[in-house]
């Protein structure tokens, strides 16, 4: 792969030199753009020695690059040739100023020109003083970049060069390299078309109140995002989820917003039927939504008032079991059905029961305390030769877990399609 590595000014810029080495060890090609501030910390000689390409520092006076004919032919257009050459662009470290330039679409130097001229995916690894990172202006800029599906890696927390302690440290090169590897192509999937449900459904009591749960939908969002990066066609059917989470997803992911469990089932069935008619079947269905088990039997058109005896009795009706309904109506073994079991007790036993009773191909069990936690441990269970097998997915963040989840689904899907 061809990488443009933009190095911003800051004491952590020296770490980018080790990142060049790590990229080269993975057989990637790396061309480095040094900002004017970066030149105070990193020398072009070091960059040239490690990357095997001359360092780019000037919009108007490019170095002679014998590896790329276009650079020699388009002497004063080298920002265009570099933009076309890049498969991926990363900025390490990304300073507060650089983040601001990106958010505003400024075109002040070589690096900003390359970014605006390129269609390559972009990732940044922020590094700055903790107060600068927490400044509302910086956070607004970060949110703007997330809406454009730009990867934000870090920052980490700890002791900073200025003596302050807090969030703002650059991730270590090895951590950045790990993220790059998953970013490029987390897995090679055995299927091409996926539907996933996410978020907590809401069952209205009256115009004001509803029954729901605490699920944020982050796990479903992470799976949808990683699946798209793997080249899978993704449809996300989601209950109400924070808008900023949805905005992190690429626009190519089809997103269908619903509210209730019945609506989620109906939309899922509609998408599966539509895909079959178009000869583009849904191969995998992942039920990741936290679906309300019950809904009010009667909806009150007006807001329910307090009672004189301080008691309110609600009559509830069981909601349809979405994943069981989909699993029970397969056609030619499709879709492969994977679900989740969130349990407060007897995690594995309860997950095994759901695996059997719902006729699932795979289930992921996680304890109730993992709900909305940034990191969690998940146990995968499946049937193989009349035995229930299980595998623990390491304690990790949502996106790392999503990679392991999709990898397992891909393996099991391939085995069952033989």
In degrees to the nearest 10, what's the CA dihedral of 130, 131, 132, 136? 120
Q: Which is higher by pLDDT, 135 or 161?
A: 135
| Cα(270)–Cα(302) distance, integer angstroms | 32
Question: 2-184 with 193-297+314-416: one CATH topology?
Answer: yes
Tens digit of each residue's pLDDT (9 = 90 or more) over 9-31: 888 999 999 999 999 887 788 99
Indicate which residues carry an active-site annotation.
Answer: 162
pLDDT category at 380 given cuts 50, 70, 90 is very high
Provide the pLDDT for residue 389. 92
Q: Is 16 helix (H, G, I), strand (E, B) or coil?
A: helix
Q: Where is pLDDT greater, at 65 or 271? A: 271
Mean pLDDT of all residues in the chain?
89
Could you report the per-residue pLDDT of 117-137, keeping only the tens digit for each?
A: 888 889 999 999 898 999 999
- Provide the pLDDT for residue 76: 56
HEC states along 53-84?
Answer: CCCECCCCCCCCCCCCHHHHHCHHHHHHHHHH
Q: Is 295 helix (H, G, I), strand (E, B) or coil?
A: strand
Distance in angstroms (rounded) separating the CA atoms of residues 370 and 373: 5
pLDDT value of position 70: 44
Give the model's confidence band at 370: pLDDT under 50 very low, under 70 low, under 90 confident, else very high: confident
Q: Residue 263: CB partners within 8 Å, gap ≥ 6?
A: none
* Among the four given CATH numbers 3.30.565.10, 3.40.50.300, 1.10.150.130, 3.40.50.1950, the one describing domain 2-184: 3.40.50.1950
Domain boundaries, the chain: 2-184, 193-297+314-416
pLDDT at residue 65 in the model: 58
Residues in the chain: 418
- 69 pLDDT band, cuts 50/70/90, is very low
Question: With pLDDT > 90 as the criterion, what percentage of the chain qualifies?
Answer: 58
User: Are the beta carbons of 73 and 84 closer than 8 angstroms?
Assistant: no
pLDDT at residue 404 is higher than 50: yes
Neighbouring C-beta atoms of residue 301, cutoff 10 Å: 7
pLDDT at 311: 85
pLDDT for residue 28: 87
For residues 186 and 338, the model is more confident at 338
Domain 193-297+314-416, classified CATH 3.30.56.10, yes or no: no
């Amino acid at each position: 792969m061809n990488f443009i590595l933009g190095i911003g000014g800051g004491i952590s810029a020296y770490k980018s030199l080790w990142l060049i080495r790590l990229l080269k060890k993975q057989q990637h090609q790396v061309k480095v753009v040094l900002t004017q501030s970066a030149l105070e910390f990193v020398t072009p000689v070091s960059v040239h020695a490690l990357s095997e390409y001359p360092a780019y520092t000037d919009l108007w006076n490019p170095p002679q690059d014998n590896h790329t004919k276009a650079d020699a032919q388009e002497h004063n257009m080298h920002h265009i040739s570099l933009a076309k050459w890049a498969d991926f662009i990363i900025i390490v470290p990304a300073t507060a100023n650089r983040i601001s330039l990106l958010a505003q679409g400024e075109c002040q130097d070589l690096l900003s020109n390359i970014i605006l001229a390129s269609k390559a995916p972009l990732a940044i690894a922020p590094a700055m003083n903790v107060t600068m990172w927490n400044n509302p202006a910086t956070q607004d800029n970060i949110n703007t970049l997330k809406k454009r599906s730009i990867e934000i890696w870090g920052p980490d927390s700890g002791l900073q060069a200025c003596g302050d302690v807090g969030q703002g440290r650059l991730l270590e090169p090895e951590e950045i390299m790990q993220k790059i590897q998953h970013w490029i192509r987390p897995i090679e999937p055995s299927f091409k078309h996926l539907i996933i449900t996410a978020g907590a459904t809401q069952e209205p009591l009256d115009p004001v109140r509803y029954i729901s749960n605490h699920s944020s939908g982050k796990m479903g969002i992470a799976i949808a995002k990683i699946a798209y990066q793997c080249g899978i066609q993704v449809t996300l059917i989601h209950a109400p989820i924070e808008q900023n989470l949805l905005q992190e997803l690429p626009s190519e992911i089809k997103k269908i917003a619903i509210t209730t469990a019945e609506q989620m089932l109906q939309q899922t069935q509609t998408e599966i039927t539509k895909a079959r008619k178009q000869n583009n079947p849904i191969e995998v269905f992942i039920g990741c939504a936290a679906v309300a088990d019950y809904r009010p039997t009667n909806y009150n058109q007006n807001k329910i008032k307090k009672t004189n005896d301080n008691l309110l009795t609600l009559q509830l009706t069981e909601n349809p079991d979405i994943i069981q309904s989909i699993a029970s109506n397969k056609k030619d073994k499709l879709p492969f059905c994977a679900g989740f079991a969130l349990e407060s007790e007897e995690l594995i036993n309860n997950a095994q029961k759901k695996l059997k009773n719902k006729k699932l191909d795979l289930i992921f069990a996680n304890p109730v305390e993992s709900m909305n936690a940034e990191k969690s441990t998940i146990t995968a269970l499946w049937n193989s030769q009349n035995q229930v097998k299980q595998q623990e997915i390491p304690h990790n963040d949502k996106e790392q877990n999503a990679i392991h989840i999709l990898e397992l689904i891909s393996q099991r899907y391939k085995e069952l399609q033989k």
